[in-house]
Amino acid sequence: MSRVILARRVAVSLAALLAVLLVVSAIVGVTWVRRPFPVTDGELPVPGLSKAVTVLRDDRGVPQIYADNAQDLFRAQGFVHAQDRFFEMDLRRHITSGRLSEMVGSSGLETDKVIRTLGWRRVAEAELPLLEPATRQYLQAYADGVNAYIDRQGTPSRMGLEYVVLGQQVKDYRVEPWTPADSLAWLKAMAWDLRGDYDNELTRARLAGRVPAAQIAELYPPYPFGTNAPILSAQDWAPGSSGPASAVPGASVPDLVPLEERTAPGAQSAYAAAQRLLEQVPLTFGRGRGIGSNAWVVGPEKSSTGKPLLANDPHLGVGIPGIWYQVGLHCRSVGTECPFDVSGFSFAGLPGVVIGHNQSVAWSMTNLGPDVTDFFLEQLRDGTYRRDGRYYPLRERRETIKVAGAGDHTITVRSTPHGPLLSDVVPDLSDAGRTSPVSGAPNADAYAVSLAWTGLTPSRTADAIFGLNRATSFTEFREAAKSFAVPSQNLLYADREGHIGYQAPGQIPVRRSDTPGAVPGFWPAAGWRSSSDWQGYVPFEQMPWAYDPPEGFIVTANQAVTASPTPFLTTQWDFGFRSQRIRDLLEKEDKVTPQRMRQIQGDTHSQFAPTLVKTLLEVDLGNDQFTEEAQDLLRDWDYSNPVGRSDSSAAAAYYNAVWSNLMELTFNDELPDDLRANGGDQWMQTITNLLAKPRSAWWDNKLTPGVTEGQAEIMRLALVDARLQLTKEVGKDPSGWEWGALHELSLTHKVLGGDSVPGAVRMLFNRGPVALPGGPAIVNANGWDASQGFEVDWAPSMRMVVDLADLDRSTWVNQTGNSGHAFHDHYDDQVDTWAKNETYPWPHSEKAVREAAKDELRLMPSAGE
User: What pLDDT, in 10s, does the model give residues 486-520?
Assistant: 989 999 999 999 999 999 999 999 987 655 555 67
Cis peptide, bond prior to residue 769, ω within 30 of zero: yes
What is the pTM for the complete model shown?
A: 0.92
Give me the residues paired with residue 500 across strands.
Answer: 494
Banded model confidence at residue 11, pLDDT cuts 50, 70, 90: very low
Check pLDDT > 60 for residue 26: no
Check pLDDT > 60 for residue 4: no
Mean pLDDT of 29-54: 92
Check pLDDT > 90 for residue 734: yes
Please tell me which residue, 790 or 252, carries the higher pLDDT value: 790
Give me the residues paired with residue 678 across strands.
Answer: none
Cβ atoms 236, 547 nearer than 8 A: no
Beta-carbon count within 10 A of 253 CB: 19
What is the spatial distance between Cα 338 and Cα 138, in angstroms, rounded to a whole number? 11
Q: Answer left, alpha or beta for residue 336, where phi above 0 means left and psi between -120 and 50 means alpha.
A: alpha
Check pLDDT > 90 for residue 845: yes
Mean predicted lDDT score pLDDT of the chain:
89
Q: Report the pLDDT value the prediction gives residue 438, as an integer from 0 to 100.
A: 37
Q: Phi and psi for 238 in degrees, rounded to 5? A: -120, 110
Helices 109-118, 70-96: inter-axial angle, 10-degree rounding: 120
What is the spatial distance between Cα 356 and Cα 353, in angstroms, rounded to a whole number? 7
Residues whose CB is less than 8 angstroms from the CB of residue 732 and which lie 6 or more positions away in sequence, other chains included: none
Check pLDDT > 80 for residue 439: no
Map 740-771 to HEC letters.
HHHCEEEECCCCCCCCCCCHHHHHHHCEEEEE
User: What pLDDT, in 10s, does the model give residues 513-533?
Assistant: 655 555 677 778 889 999 899
- Please give the torsion angle defined by the CA atoms of residues 226, 229, 231 and 236, in that order, rounded to the nearest 10 degrees: 80
Please tell me which residue, 317 or 579, carries the higher pLDDT value: 579
% the chain with pLDDT above 90:
73
Q: Report the pLDDT value the prediction gives residue 633, as an integer from 0 to 100.
A: 98
Check pLDDT > 70 for residue 554: yes
| SS3 assignment, position 498 | coil
Pairing of strands 534-537, 509-511: antiparallel
What is the spatial distance between Cα 252 and Cα 218, in angstroms, rounded to a whole number? 13
Residue among 315, 325, 319 nearest 347 (CA): 325
Residues whose CB is less than 8 angstroms from the CB of residue 133 and which lie 6 or more positions away in sequence, other chains included: none
DSSP codes, 374-406:
EEEEEEEETTEEEETTEEEEPEEEEEEEEETTT
Mean pLDDT of 860-864: 84
Banded model confidence at residue 189, pLDDT cuts 50, 70, 90: confident
Banded model confidence at residue 152, pLDDT cuts 50, 70, 90: very high
Cα 190 to Cα 312, 460, 562: the distances in Å are 18, 14, 25
Mean pLDDT of 92-110: 93
Q: Phi and psi for 588 in degrees, rounded to 5? A: -75, -20
Cβ atoms 618, 716 nearer than 8 A: no
How far is Cα of residue 725 from the mean position of the Cα atoms in its chain?
Answer: 31
Check pLDDT > 80 for residue 251: no
User: What pLDDT, in 10s, does the model give residues 200-223?
Assistant: 877 887 888 788 988 999 999 999
Question: In this structure, which amino acid lies at residue 654?
Answer: Y
Q: Report the pLDDT value the prediction gives residue 10, as an integer from 0 to 100.
A: 45
Mean pLDDT of 392-407: 95
